[in-house]
Amino acid sequence: MSDLVRIADDLAAALALLSFAPPVAHVYNPLVYAREPHAAYLRRFGAAPKEAVFVGMNPGPWGMAQTGVPFGEVAVVKDWLGIDGAVARPDHEHPKKRVDGFACRRSEVSGRRLWGLIRDRFGTPERFFDRFFVVNYCPLLFITAEGGNVTPDKLRAAEREPLMNLCDQALRRTVECLAPRVVIGVGGFAEERARDAVAGLHVRVGRILHPSPANPAANRDWDGTVLRQLDELAIPF
């Protein structure tokens, strides 16, 4: 078992002990029901060391929640990364947020933008992963009774703090394993959590604009903005 797979399994087991109250009605953990493709991603592309690690916030319903891969839009994961595998259904599934795994026909804009830029710049997954890796800070997707999304930062403090303690520990172990010189939060929340998680390690922390279409700034030349931000971080991309 690889170190990254062990970290993911440890995190999944610890998260299973947490509980969440309304407005959270459904909790999906793709580290469990999509473990096969998630572990394949870690084993295939997670060789250390890395120059930089990109850190997202948590799964989207049509990305990692379907494939087990961070920002994992189905078409990109299957056709470009070459990852497939068995995906079960989460316990207590919401009918508006069905998990169909690699048969899912929905597209995640954030994943399409992030992996699209990576594919355009590097051409092959091997060229990208030789220097970089992509993880999510929190592997859980939180859904309301109506089918809406609850981001980790919007959880009640009593629920958020134990969750973040576990995710901080897992991210720190991941960074120690991959030994990057830079950790890059995809968005402000991920940057903030990364700073806390890696405090005391010899690693810089930066940020790029989150690609979500809910972020108005991301709908105006997201690619160009991110390339400028990476240049400011002295990361050739």
DSSP secondary structure letters along 171-232: HHHHHHHH--SEEEEESHHHHHHHHHHTTTSS-EEEEE----TTSGGGGTTHHHHHHHHHHH
pLDDT of residue 97: 97
Is 216 contained in some domain?
yes
Is 162 contained in some domain?
yes
Joined together, the tokens standing for residue 138 give 């929190």
Residue range(s) defining the domain that contains residue 100: 3-232
Number of domains in the chain: 1
**Could you give the CA distance from residue 233 to residue 225 in angstroms, rounded to a whole number?**
13
pLDDT in tens, the chain (237 residues): 689 999 999 999 999 999 999 999 999 999 999 999 999 999 999 999 999 999 999 999 999 999 999 999 999 999 999 999 999 999 999 999 999 999 999 999 999 999 999 999 999 999 999 999 999 999 999 999 999 999 999 999 999 999 999 999 999 999 999 999 999 999 999 999 999 999 999 999 999 999 999 999 999 999 999 999 999 999 999
pLDDT of residue 184: 99
What pTM value is reported for the model? 0.97
Nearest alpha-carbon partner for 139 in 66, 76, 57: 57
Q: Which amino acid is at 205?
A: V
Report DSSP letters for 137-183, one per residue: S---EEE-TTS-EE-GGGS-HHHHHHHHHHHHHHHHHHHHHH--SEE
Terminal Cα distance for the chain, rounded: 31
Task: Give the CATH number for residue 38.
Answer: 3.40.470.10
Within 13 Å, how many C-alpha atoms sit on residue 231's CB side?
6
pLDDT of residue 154: 96
Nearest alpha-carbon partner for 63 in 220, 224, 227, 212: 212
Is 138 contained in some domain?
yes
Joined together, the tokens standing for residue 73 give 């839009």
How would you classify residue 83: left for phi > 0, otherwise alpha for psi between -120 and 50, otherwise beta? beta
Is 237 contained in some domain?
no
pLDDT of residue 1: 64
The burial class, CB within 10 Å (0-12 / 13-18 / 19+), for 19 is: exposed
Is 174 contained in some domain?
yes
Count of other CB atoms within 10 angstroms of residue 62: 23
Query: For residue 66, what are the contacts with CB-CB under 8 A and spacing of at least 6?
Result: 30, 34, 72, 74, 87, 99, 100, 101, 102, 104, 106
